[in-house]
Amino acid sequence: MQSFFSLGDVSKDLKVPTWKILYAISSGRVPDVRIRCAGKRVFQADDVSRLAKHFNGNNPSPSKATEYILENYDHTPDPNHP
């Protein structure tokens, strides 16, 4: 089962302002998402995991949803996804 998250969802889960997430992506510190819908970023579990690791020093206590993703998501790349 694939889960998708909006920028607002990720911001709330990580307790990081949206502008900080966008700055981390636009400055190249974190890779951009692979999926966009109607010009909006669509975050997958691996994107959330990457962002959580990036912001971990600034936010030592992620939400329960983020902890669940980090613990239960299989981080191996999907061979069918380019």
Residue at 52 is within a domain: yes
Residue at 8 is within a domain: yes
At 1-31, the pLDDT tens digits run: 458 899 999 998 888 999 999 999 999 999 9
Residue at 81 is within a domain: no
Question: The pTM is what?
Answer: 0.69
Q: What are residue 39's phi and psi, to 5 degrees?
A: 80, 0
DSSP states along 21-81: HHHHHHTTSSPPPSEEETTEEEEEHHHHHHHHHHHTTT-S---HHHHHHHHH---SPPTT-
Range of the domain at 40: 4-72
Residue at 79 is within a domain: no
**What is the pLDDT at residue 41?**
93
**What is the pLDDT at residue 45?**
86
Taking a C-beta distance cutoff of 8 angstroms, is the pair 65, 13 a contact? yes
Tally of domains within the chain: 1
